[in-house]
Chain A
Amino acid sequence: MGNQLLETTADGEVLRLAGNGSWVAENAPALEAEILAITDRTDDIKRADIEMAQVRQLDTFGAWLLERLTRGLSARGCETKVTGLKDDYRALVDEVHGVKPVPSVSYRGVHPVAESLASVGKGVASVGETLVAILNMLGALSVALLRVIARPRSFRFASMVHQLDKVGWRAVPIIVLITFLIGCIIAQQGIFHFRKFGADTYVVDMVGILVLRELGVLIVTIMVAGRSGSAYTAELGSMKMREEIDALRTMGFDPVEVLILPRIVALLIAVPILTFLGSMAALYGGALVCWLYGGIDPDIYVQRLKEAISLDTFKVGMIKAPFMALVIGVVACVEGLAVKGSSESLGLQTTASVVESIFLVIVLDGCFAIFFASIGM
């Protein structure tokens, strides 16, 4: 055993230990094992001499293990002496000598059933907290809105236009593309299945009603939640992390008025416009597929569309848009302000923002469906 880091010779009640080689980080696992073997010895030792002259290198890891060796031996009532330590290493050994024993950390596992129950409970409680936070935000927004109405010049118009550009104008291409494709797919599927009954032309009714009442606004708001809601949460969250929101507050600005109101107003303007553009693109996509795939002439398509949909159908879709925009904006801002110090929490809140706003948008859509059905629209 020529490469042993610690040579042991027992001499009656005296244990002679001779250090060897490099007591550095790389060798720490081996050295630790050798030291454990010594401190776990059960024979009766009264004295231990540790000879360190042969140790070529010593770093903090080695110094600490030496300290642990002497502590382990002393704890068993054994007299310990370290000799031959180089002067260079003396200071290091003295440095670790003062280190207090580590409070042992218990990685005690929680019962898996209890843990999963607890997480369900926490989840339910957090739903309640989020709802309260959303109501709070709605209140703060109303107050800010009233203040802005009283003093219109305090409204951050430039900021609102900037946000409008980001969430509205720049979203047009992707939203038009996606709704166009959705329109194509619905029309294709409709033609394929309706043809069996010889009811090809009813595809136009289906596309028109489905797109204008439900799908146009849903697809657009889901896209906006993923695209702009997440951006709002991440922006506000990183501002919160870097104390920018606190800075605003100390300068006497209301963060809701400066940061959140312009963002939500921009969404309130952008989402209805995007919904309109999206619905038109979907109808256009439907028309194209009907013509090329179903052989329905564009003239007939328009004619059928006129008969199938009324102004109410269009209104139902458009009325929903601003409410959905409000939900997305408020959820995104609430989650953004809930970000804590760490980057992990930023990711967590951004995910939560997108998931919650899509969920709430769909729930709201269901509520609207019941409402419009009962008033006969």
Chain B
Amino acid sequence: MVQGNGKETVIEVRNLVVGFGDHVVLDHVDLDVYRGEILGFVGGSGAGKSVLMRTIIGLLPKREGSIKVLGVDLAQASDAERQAIERRWGVLFQQGALFSSLTVRENLQFPIREYLDLSPQLLDEMATAKLEMVGLDASVLGKVPSELSGGMTKRVALARALALDPEIVFLDEPTSGLDPIGAGDFDSLIATLQRTLGLTVFMVTHDLDSLHTVCDRIAVLADHKVIATGTMDAMLASTHSWLRSYFHGKRSRAIQPQVANP
């Protein structure tokens, strides 16, 4: 569990192979996520970032290899152990995946009701508290998901992911579809929540700004493998051709003018 560098590993992926039919998406992938960090996970579109995330949380079957989350190998865990682990993580899906027939209040209270037996007053207060944490207020409680804007949907979905105070949060492209101001706000929100709640964040993203501002470490998926992990500076210094074109492409110049024009 504890690595040589003294950090506790909360997600440990070893030799993971995932494929569909004869198409191998992930070929012997290794990845570690340490407690309390924000890991940005990047890769080309269709490279299998979401596939890795969905395999870790158990939505896709793996062919080979092992995945340990919080020290438990989910493939070997009993149903009770699995459920205990699932209660300790929260997932923000790309489209929010709010339950469309429930109101925001019911969406937020759904996981809490399932695991805990709280008074109606405390349930309502917790729903409001979670909403305020993600920068919304009690006025959206009575709305249904179809009445929310894209940014609000993401915030409510994040609030729902945080409903049970998880230790790990999986975010699938949290800032996609948001305007730059909204995306920036969302980034700082994630950073704030990570600090206050002591979260470990696994974030699949394409947003170079997010990577630069909030991520402690970056892992890069290319050619069906994790080809590099490290800080933003390490990524920028890398000579790998894919990394160079990703981090030094046209769209990155605004962030790293000193690197783009050495």
**Residues of chain A whose beta carbon lies under 8 Å from any beta carbon of chain B:** 24-26, 28-29, 32, 59-61, 64-65, 68, 88, 91-92, 95-96, 98-100, 102-105, 340-345
Contacts and interface: CB of A to CB of B under 8 A. Distances in A.
B100 A342 contact: yes
Interface of B: 100-101, 112, 115-119, 121-122, 124-126, 128-130, 132-133, 137-138, 144-147, 162, 164-165, 195-198
A274 to B, nearest CB: 35
A96 B119 contact: no
B210 to A, nearest CB: 21
A343 B100 CA distance: 6
B122 A100 contact: no
B146 A61 contact: no
A263 B137 CA distance: 45
Contacts of A98: 132
Contacts of A345: 101
B207 to A, nearest CB: 24
Contact of A100 (B116, B132, B164): B132
B118 A59 contact: no
A102 B124 contact: yes
Given A340-B146, A342-B146, A29 B118 contact: yes
Contacts of A61: 122, 126, 165
- Mostly, the B contact residues are helix
A92 B125 contact: no
Contact of A32 (B112, B118, B137, B197): B118
5 contacts: A59-B197, A68-B125, A96-B129, A104-B124, A342-B145
A100 B137 contact: yes
Contacts of A59: 165, 197
Contacts of B118: 28-29, 32
Contacts of B147: 341
Contacts of B133: 60, 95-96
Contacts of B197: 59-60, 92
A20 to B, nearest CB: 19
Contacts of A344: 100-101
A59 B165 CA distance: 7
Contact of B116 (A29, A65, A92, A341): A29
A100 B100 CA distance: 26
A28 B137 contact: no
Contacts of B115: 25
Nearest to A33: B119
B129 A341 contact: no
B165 A64 contact: no
B104 to A, nearest CB: 13
A96 B126 CA distance: 10
A76 B71 CA distance: 47
